[in-house]
Structures are given as C-alpha cells and as structure tokens.
Amino acid sequence: MLRLILQRLLALVPLLFIVSVLTFSFTSLLPSDPVDLILGDTGTEEQHEMLRERLGLNQPVHVRYMQWFGRAVQGDLGTSFFNSVSVMGAVMQRLPVTLSLTAVSAIIAIVVGVAAGIAAALRPRSWIDRFATLGATFGQAVPNFWFGLILAAIFAVNLRWFPATGFTPISDSPWDWLRSVILPSIALGTSSSAAIARQVRSAMVGVLQQDYIRAARAQGLSARRIVLKHALTNAMVPVVAVLSFQITVLLGGALVVEQVFAINGLGTLAIGAVRQQDIPMIQGLVLVMVALVVVVQLATDVIYGLLNPKARPS
C-alpha cells in the first residue's frame, strides 16, 4: 500500500509539470489582454507597452513559463497581475472553504446515496425502489446551480432558516459554519447521491443473491447484520470506485455553486481570475485543483485496496 502511495505521489510530479505547460500555453492563446483591463479605456499605447514590460508579457511564452517555473519549484506561485495578493495566499485562504463544501457534500451524497440504494435493493420493484429510482433520476438530471437557487429561495429567503449568502469559518462558530454550508452542500451533493444510490442498488441486488448471503440467512443471522456487515461491505467495492469520480465532480461543481451562494472559495477565485485573464492566478488554481484531484483519487484507491484485498498492488 505504501508503494502505491509513493508511486502515485511520484506520478504527480510529471503530471503537474504537463498541466502547468498546457495551462500556460492555453492562457497565452486567449484573445483578451489583462493590460486592457488594468489600464481601462484610456490607456495609451506607450502605457500598454510599459505595463506589458512590467508584467513580463512582452516576453515569449516559453521564457515567461521558465521564469514562472523557476519560482514555482521554490514554492512561489507569483502574485496576481492586478494587485499584490500572492497566488499561494489567495489559494490557501479559499481552499478550506471549497474543501468544507466538498466534504459536506460528499457526506450528504454518501449517506443519502447509500441509504437510498440499500432501501431500493432490499425491496426491488416495490414503491420504495421506484421512489428511489425516480429520486435518483431527478437528482442526476437537475443542474446543481438551479437546485441551489431553489433551495436558497425557499429555505434562506422565505423561511430564513439558513443564510442566503456567505461562508462562516468553522473556527468562528461550528454551528454557523454548518448553517452556511448546508444549502450549497445539498445542492452540490444531490447529483452525486443519485449516482451513488444507483450504484449501491445495483451492487446490493447482485450481492444479496449470492450463495453466502443465502447461507447467512439459513444460519439465522439477523437481516440487519446480513445487510450491513456481509452484503454492504462487498457491495461498497464498486461504489468506492464511483465515489472517487463523484468527489472530483463535487470539486468541479463547487466552483458553480459557490457563485450562487456567494461563497468565497476556489470557484469564485477561478471565475474572477479567468474573467480578468489573471494568468498567475489561473496557473496556481489549476495546479492546486489537479493536485487535489490526484490526492482524492489516491485516497479512494487506498480505501478500495482496504475493502478489496485482491485490488492491492503486489
């Protein structure tokens, strides 16, 4: 297992390098110019040139990339084109916000998805199964930003149970933190819970028909013990594989849902950076997101290996 972890972490190095080259190349192809945005409508050609020089934009892309790379390997991702905010500082400030949102969404997705999947699998073709299937279809079909708007309108604006916007750090108040992330997390986690429910139902239906389950029943084990201990453990193996993908989806979805609830996470930062063509910020964000996805996949691989010994590397 340790070898797997080391292998994955080593693979992260070339991956980040390739991603950084691609991001730098693609952003340099964009037609809009950050200098235009900084100087506004009134900047003269001379000012444009001076600012381009100051930002290093007058140099070829490969030279700019090498300069950036030289600093990045020392842990310096540079500063924004538009102000003195450091990229690393900005990303690190927002990372806990997006991670909070993703973690709570993942918990909601797992709890709701697994429960709905088990309930549906225990009574196939019953009204519970049909209801769960319908719910899963709805959950997967509904765009998370739209669902977020609806949740905000009902539970924040009308009922005033939760704040409509903003994020409270957990260190300020755990209760207010939970209130601030609950609606966006439901909006975000619904789609994943639907995907997980479908996967759990399908896996559980298969496992419950296995001989060892029949044997367990014949031995007089309680239904709860059979389902939770014997069936679910095996059924969770394919679910963990789905979970890895779903958490990546949640990270991406958080970027959109953050806008709806005015949550100042990586998504809000990313959208602002793209709009402004803030290349250092875009570069830093992409790298952090890629690293996050790799870490999530590594974690799920480890869990997968723990659940399924056959999947462990020899």
Partner 1 sequence: MKRRIRDAILSMAIAAGFGLGVTAAHAEPEGTFKYAEQVKLITMDPQQQSGSGVPYLRPVYESLFERGTDGKPVPLLATGYEVDGLDVTIKLREGVSFSNGEAFNAEVAAANINRGVELAIVEGLKTVDGAEAVDEFTLRIKLKEPDPAIIDSLCHTGGMMLAPAAIADPALDRNPIGTGPYVYNKDESREGEVRVYTPNPTYWDKDKIGLARYEVWELPDDTARLNALKTGQIDAGNWLANPQSAIIDRTPGLKLVRGTGGLNYHVIISDREGTVVPAFADLNVRKAMAHAIDREAFGKAVQFGLAEKSFQPYGKGDWAYDPALEGIYEFDLDKAREFMARSEFSDGFTFDMPSIPIYQSRLEALAGFFNEIGITMNIVPQEPGTLARVSRTTNYPATNLVWATNTDPKFLALRYIYEDAAYNPFKAKPSEDLLNLAKEGLESVDTAIRAPIYQEMAARLAEEAFLIFVTNTPILIGVSEATANNPSVVYRFGEDSINLRGLKAND
Binding site for partner 1 (CB under 8 A): 30-33, 36-44, 47, 82-85, 89-90, 93-94, 149, 152-153, 156-157, 160, 163-167, 259-262, 264, 268-269, 272, 275-277
Query: Is residue 260 within 8 Å of residue 225, measured between CB atoms?
Result: no
User: Based on CB atoms, which residue is closest to partner 1, 97 or 216?
Assistant: 97
Q: Which of 276, 260, 270, 262 is nearest to 292 (CA)?
A: 270
> In the complex, what is the shortest distance from the CB of residue 177 to partner 1, in angstroms, rounded to a whole number?
14
> In the complex, what is the shortest distance from the CB of residue 157 to partner 1, in angstroms, rounded to a whole number?
5
> In the complex, what is the shortest distance from the CB of residue 180 to partner 1, in angstroms, rounded to a whole number?
11
Please name the residue ranges forming H helices in the chain.
2-29, 34-39, 45-55, 61-72, 87-122, 127-141, 144-151, 174-208, 211-218, 223-225, 232-260, 266-276, 279-307
User: Based on CB atoms, which residue is closest to partner 1, 246 or 268?
Assistant: 268
> In the complex, what is the shortest distance from the CB of residue 41 to partner 1, in angstroms, rounded to a whole number?
5
What angle do helix axes 174-208 and 144-151 make, rounded to 10 degrees?
A: 130
Q: Which residues, other chains included, contact 5 with Cβ-Cβ below 8 Å and sequence gap of 6+? A: 298, 302
CA distance 289 to 204: 33
User: Based on CB atoms, which residue is closest to partner 1, 25 or 83?
Assistant: 83
> In the complex, what is the shortest distance from the CB of residue 75 to partner 1, in angstroms, rounded to a whole number?
20
User: Based on CB atoms, which residue is closest to partner 1, 51 or 286?
Assistant: 51
User: Based on CB atoms, which residue is closest to partner 1, 163 or 189?
Assistant: 163
